[in-house]
Amino acid sequence: MEYQMTYIVLAAIFGGFMAWGIGANDVANAMATSVGSKAITIKQAIIIAAIFEFAGAVLAGGAVTSTIRKGIITADSINSQPELLIFGMLSSLLAAGIWLLIASRRGWPVSTTHSVIGAVVGFAAVGIGTEAIQWSKVVDIVLSWVVTPVIAGILAYFIFQSVHHLILKQKDPLSRAKRYVPFYMFITAFVLTLVTIKKGLKHIGLHLTDVEAYGLAVLFGIVVAVIGAFFINRIKPNKEKEKRFHFYTVERVFAVLMVITASGLAFAHGSNDVANAVGPLAAVISTAKSGVVAANSSLETWVLMLGAVGIVIGLATYGVRVIRTVGQKITHLTPSRGFAAELAASTTIVVASGTGMPISTTQTLVGAVLGVGMARGISAIDLKVVRNIFASWVVTIPAGAALSIIFFFIFRFIFG
């Protein structure tokens, strides 16, 4: 192929840029509730996310990725024109990266998956023809905008209500927390293990049966609950702080729990969403080298490393803007509320992965935070912030498509 090296270098640059965008926008969501509830500081969030996102991306990011994300177009629709796929993937990476930059600057939590999908739909419509697009898949994705945030919101509402009635409303909330929080820890570890198995480890070819997956999740749940109970029982009430805030010590118990949920979510997110950046990059590399469009592309280690490093730098440089929106601006969060939101989001991800429903981590978590806010009444939510977030979701796919079309014509003009 005439411009083989040029294509690979451009794909690496754009793929790194897209990974940076994922870090700036998406990773912020896994950490937003923990930071917003003051369970951890921004600096601690960046360190935790750096370790677990990097581990998830490199260890469980997978050896193979589908050439076209989420099956939006079929590989055989462009078999005879491999250059079209290269122009399309370069356009998609650049378009999605730019949209994520714009959204992150404004603090909008948007879906990186939907940004890439919009970009792929855009280039496919002008480069191949609208008949090559699997419109039913696009409709499923649009429906998921409504379904997953609503499920997560309802779950978060009920989880927080259970915390409120079992612990916070009682005469001695600390002793009640010591009794019930290990049970919440069990559920959290159980769900996060399932998230990791279903969304994280499937990429490395580790396919466990449902019985094995649930068995492992129960085992991890028991281990975490026992260790958690040991540490919780050593937490002593702080009388001085409790004079100012009655639930100070109880919230410290939930803060311990939030570090676990944030770490698990970051690992699952790194393993799953790194493919949004490295999938199109791998497609360009394999097509440029072989001149053939394949349904799947193998991932070289340096490609996964590039994605992982890009994600970590994105969070460290720009992530704070989206963290503020989700963690502080929608509603006031405490560790117990933030925990309810994270557990609800993780549970929704497990359910959606099991049913094959397309899902956005971002939209799921925002829905969960809204659910926690609703538990305190509509006045506890900043509706102006929510309106801006919803508007940014609606614009994501068209924005990705429009940018991708422009870049597609530019690349075809330069290299065509």
Q: Is the pLDDT of residue 67 over 60?
A: no
Q: pLDDT digit string (tens) for 221-272? A: 999 899 888 888 888 887 788 777 878 888 888 888 888 888 878 887 787 7
Longest CA–CA separation in the chain, Å: 75
- Give Cα separations from 231 to 180, 183, 186, 211, 234 (angstroms): 14, 14, 14, 31, 5
Q: Is the pLDDT of residue 356 over 70?
A: no
Q: Predicted confidence band at 118 (pLDDT cuts at 50, 70, 90)?
A: very high
Q: Is the pLDDT of residue 62 over 70?
A: no
CA distance 153 to 345: 8
Domain positions in the chain are 4-415
Q: Is the pLDDT of residue 343 over 60?
A: yes
**Residue at token pair 């944030």:** 262
Q: What is the pTM of this model?
A: 0.87
Exposure letters 145-162 (e unless 16+ CB within 10 A, then b): bebbbebbbbbbbebbee
In angstroms, how far is the first alpha carbon of the chain from the final one?
12
Closest CA to 1 of 227, 285, 247, 250: 285
- DSSP symbol at 296: E
- Give Cα separations from 274 to 188, 244, 376 (angstroms): 24, 44, 36
